[in-house]
Structure 1
Amino acid sequence: MGSDPTDNQAFMASIKQDIKETFLGLYETAHDRWNDFIQFLMEAWPLLVSLLIILTGVWLYADPPPPRHVMMATGAPGSSYHDLGKKYAEFFAKKGITLELVQTKGSQEDMVRLANRKDPIQAAFVQAGVDIPEGVSGIESLGAINYEPIWFFYRGPELRGHDFQAYQAQFKFFHQARISMGEKGSGTYVQASKILQVNGIGEGQKFVHLPLAQSVAALKNGQIDGAFIVDAYDGPSVQAILEDPNIHLAAFERAEAYARLLPYLQILNVPTGAFSLVRNYPDFDMKLMSTTTNLLIDSNMHPAIQFLFLEAARKINGKSTFFAKSGQFPSFENPLFPESAVALHFEKNGSPLLMTYLPFWVAELINRLTFVLLPFLAIAYPVLLTLPGYRDKRIRRKINRLYGMLREYEQELTQSFDSVDQDGYLKKLDLLEYEALQLNIPKAVSSDYYALRTSIDYVRSCLNRGIRPYQIQEEAVCL
């Protein structure tokens, strides 16, 4: 037997009706909840605004916005540090922050200034191996960002590595040569001093202390015989000397021994012809020693600025270079100072997700708002749970107050009723009912509210009977 079409239609109609009623019920529930929420906000907004103001004040005090101006020490003009600083300044400018570059004599001065808590410098490029002031504190590391080879350039006949070996505690070459060790206060001076020291050589009268630019010019002009230079391979000073065929580069055949005596040193290999295939320069496989450039900061630096420095280091110094592979820097191995908490986070997780996809200031604002919104919600949530009950009690107190006014009015009518003034009595009830109508009532107290309205209407009905119901007499009294 086939099913009855009429029954099928009735069944489908029933389903449609059930679905319609379900959606209507959900809509009405959501609508009522929304109205209650809006009413709640209208009543509770002073408390919520006060709470938000307090938390915002704590937020601004505990987590101030990042500064728009940062000072950084970058070494001497013409050095790779100075050129690198310009790249960092361009990166910061795109983020809406001014990175002011401060010229110094070099790494040693940078270290001293960074250690001085009264100095406005907050960041510096510093060579590994520089002398750390005794008792220094408040300096943290954002990692190493580049190799910085120790170059020894010289004029005259080309010498091989064995010609630089120690002879009666002296380098043959250093016997009568006029050598620049770099300006005192510079990283070059520190590195040159340590190399001479482990070889048992002290500073002789022929050693001079020239700034980088003067040292390069003096060497090219023949005013000095040799010069220590600690600078990156792509630094303009190093490139200018490497291109000069009259100036030679000394190799360090005992680089392994230096690295043992001075553990911060790295060994770099230069294949034959790597500097110039046309000149076949160098004409043998060469070993160089290198320190590293460390990005040091004042420990009070804003975390957002630290992330910005690390992101700049990743984009600028993380590229493949003559000595470094892509992604090798920033490196967090053997830091010159303890790593900052931000550097540790960056090492494990990279930049914050918001900074990756949003403009710096937008990401920072959202990040800082989280600082205040989470506590706000944590505190406000239990308050929000408590306030509906408080609100119900508050409305009930208003209803009870109106009940009290109605009761006092009835007592007044009982004790001094005057039928001539009946219109006046009714006006008082109208005012009482108007006041009740102004109440915004949640559903939870609807029964009490309408009970009040019914009681007011009852008293009005008694007055409208016209039989002096509130006069104390033997007749029945309507109470």
Structure 2
Amino acid sequence: MNSAALYQHRWLMIRLPLAVLALALASLVWVRLYPMPPTQLTISTGLADGAYQFYANRYVEAFSRRGIELTVLASEGSTQNLERLQSDPPQTDLALVQGGYGWSSPMSESSQQDGVQTLASVDIEALWLFSRNPPIRSLLQLSGLRIAAGPERSGHRVLLQRLLMQQRIGLDELIWSDLSGQAANEALTRGEIDAVFMVASPSSPGVLALLRNPALTLATLERTTAIAERNNYLESRLLPQDGLGANLPPSDTPMLTTPAHLLVRQDLDPALKRMATAVAMEVHGKAGAFHRAGEFPSLRSSDFPSAPEARQVLLRGLGPMESVLPFWWVQVLQRLLIICVPLLLLTVALFRMVPAWVRWRLESRITRWYGELKFIENDLINKNVDVGGMELSRINGRLREMDQAIGSLKLPKELAQRWYTLHQHVDFVRSRIRGYRGR
């Protein structure tokens, strides 16, 4: 198709294909290179009556307000939570894991950190040991006792077994029970077991139930500082009298504590990591028995590589759009700004430039004919040609061809004036040639 017809039908031949191409390119980038993140997440927690489940229920509410659906998966404990994050394909997006499973643990392996990032340390958990009278003051006293420390893969049991091995106590010297929470509380009250061990936040419903049971006593372990020195993920702290309520506990009690981490899949969409960090700030920002308000969430005691998105949110908070609008609308607006606006500007520029280039080609053709006419006129004026019949016939033939070419050219209205003017100039040169013939 020639340039004249192309320019004459520029909306159909030029601008419509450009618009379709821009739309196809925007769709390709949107779907393949910058896809929309999902609005459904899963989190692996712990036992149904544990603190992790309590936190997860609050996460569900916070995520829901932002337009994200969170599914809570109960588990046997931190070991299973970490395995779910690292499975292929992943079985969960988020997980709550107690301290001692990452860098801080001398027993951890580098493979335990693969594909996992820390969004924040969200709380301080204590190591709770309850028994009937008399109170337990050393882990050595557990030898030969019936101990409820949760399921075999739970973080409670894994941590207690580590501490027992450091005390040179064989794991087969204890009688293990899978009970935890309220079931362990009732079994200990009935005398079916001798002690309950758990790692949980002071606000955990299970911990508060055990503390309120008058038949049970909270262990006051000795040499907690020495135990913490041998385990980087533990810290010795003092639980003050009445710190959790009236007579809870009845006296100042030295406790071993460990951080709780909110972990995430490394390949999770960055926007969801930012949103999960903001939710953690909302849920865990208040004061606790072992920390002041605002100390958590943090990355000071991170057990896994920290996510850059988490550092960004913890330092500066969410962006203006993410703070105000629902999650889905933020993602749509970001893609409109990043993908559609630049493509729109480029398409508008091409809408102008391509037709202008076609018009320039048409005008340059007319300009070339004007140039040829100018050469003929100069030759005639300067008498550089033989005014005989042969030369004048050749020039007339060339003018006739030019006239036919101009006549077959369909130009837009914008160039009609130049078209008529060129015709007139050809006739003018032809009339001058007739004057030469009359000489």
Indicate yes or no: 2:127 matched with 1:150.
yes
CA distance in 1 between counterparts of 2:153 and 2:75 reads: 9
2:361 to 397, 405, 409: 397
Contact 1:183–1:189 (Cα < 8 Å) also in 2: yes
1:29 — aligned with what?
none
> 2:89 aligned with 1:113, yes or no?
no
SS across alignment from 2:171: coil
Question: Is the 1:145–1:329 contact (alpha carbons within 8 Å) kept by the matching residues of 2?
Answer: yes
Does the residue aligned with 2:237 lie in a helix, a strand or coil?
strand
Spell out, residue by residue over 1:105-161, the C-alpha distance to the aligned partner (whole angstroms, 9 max, x if none).
01111112222122321211001113645634111111211111110011123x3xx
How far residue 52 of structure 1 moved from its aligned partner, in angstroms, is 5.7
Residue-by-residue CA offset, 1:2-25 (whole Å, 9 max, x unaligned)? xxxxxxxxxxxxxxxxxxxxxxxx
Residues of 1 paired with 2:335 and 2:239: CA distance?
48
Aligned mates of 1:149, 1:453 — CA distance in 2:
95
Among candidates 269, 290, 304, match of residue 302 of structure 1:
269
Query: How far apart, in 1, do the equivalents of 2:405 and 2:424 lie?
Result: 8
CA contact under 8 A between 1:270 and 1:286: conserved in structure 2? yes
Counterpart contact for 1:73–1:110, Cα < 8 Å: yes
Residue 438 (structure 1) aligned to one of 413, 429, 435 = 413
Q: Which residue of 1 aligns with 2:41?
A: 70
- Residue equivalent to 2:228: 259
Kindly indicate whether the alpha-carbon contact (under 8 Å) linking 2:143 and 2:169 is maintained by their aligned counterparts in 1: no
Q: Distance in 1 between matches of 2:162 and 2:331?
A: 44
- Residues 353-392 of structure 1 correspond to what in structure 2 (within 5 A)? 353-372=320-339, 376=343, 380=346, 384=349, 388=353, 391-392=355-356
- Superposition deviation, residue 395 in structure 1: 1.1
Aligned counterparts of 1:190 and 1:398: Cα–Cα separation in 2: 82
Q: Secondary structure at the residue paired with 2:262?
A: strand
1:57-136 matched pairs, under 5 angstroms: 57-130=28-101, 132=108, 135-136=111-112
CA distance in 1, matches of 2:109, 2:405: 88
CA distance in 2, matches of 1:155, 1:74: 29
Q: Which residue of 2 aligns with 1:180?
A: 148
Structure 1 residues without counterparts, runs of 5 or longer: 1-38, 416-427, 442-448, 463-467
Question: What secondary structure, in the 3-state scheme, does the structure 2 residue paired with 1:326 have?
Answer: coil
Q: Is the 8 A contact 2:244 2:289 kept in 1?
A: no
| Distance in structure 1 (CA, Å) of the matches to 2:250 and 2:40 | 48
Change (3 A) 1:60 1:341: farther
Matched, 1:321 2:285: no
- TM-score by length of structure 2 reads 0.77
User: In the alignment, does 2:118 pair up with 1:141?
Assistant: yes
For 2:276 and 2:284, locate their aligned partners in 1 and report how far apart those are by CA, in whole Å. 11
Give the match for residue 339 of structure 1. Answer: 306
Corresponding residue SS for 1:268? strand
> Which residue identity is paired with 2:41?
V
Q: Tell me the alpha carbon deviations over residues 254-293 of structure 1, each in whole angstroms, 9 at most, x when there is no partner.
A: 221121111111333222233343xx34332211111111
Q: How far 1:48 sits from its partner (Å)?
A: 6.2
Indicate if the aligned counterparts of 1:143 and 1:294 stay in contact, CA closer than 8 A: yes
Between the aligned partners of 1:340 and 1:476, the Cα distance in structure 2 is 94
Aligned AA (2:205): P
**SS, match of residue 302 in structure 2:** coil
Aligned length: 400
**One of 137, 158, 161 as aligned partner of 1:193:** 161
CA contact (8 A) 1:148 1:232 kept: yes
Task: Describe the superposition over 1:25-81 as per-residue Cα deviations: whole angstroms up to 9, x where unpaired.
Answer: xxxxxxxxxxxxxx9999656446535633542343222211122221111111111
Instruction: Flag the 1:263–1:373 CA change in 2: closer, same or farther, 3 A.
Output: same
Change (3 A) 1:51 1:237: same
On the 8 A contact 1:56/1:372 being kept in 2, the answer is no
Aligned partners of 1:144, 1:367: CA distance in 2, in Å?
29
State the identity as a percent: 25
Q: SS where residue 144 of structure 1 aligns?
A: strand
SS in 2 for 1:354: helix
Asked which structure has the greater RCO (Cα within 8 Å, sep 6+), the reply is 2
Give the Å deviation of 1:339. Answer: 0.8
Unaligned runs of 5+ in 2: 1-9, 102-106, 374-392, 398-403
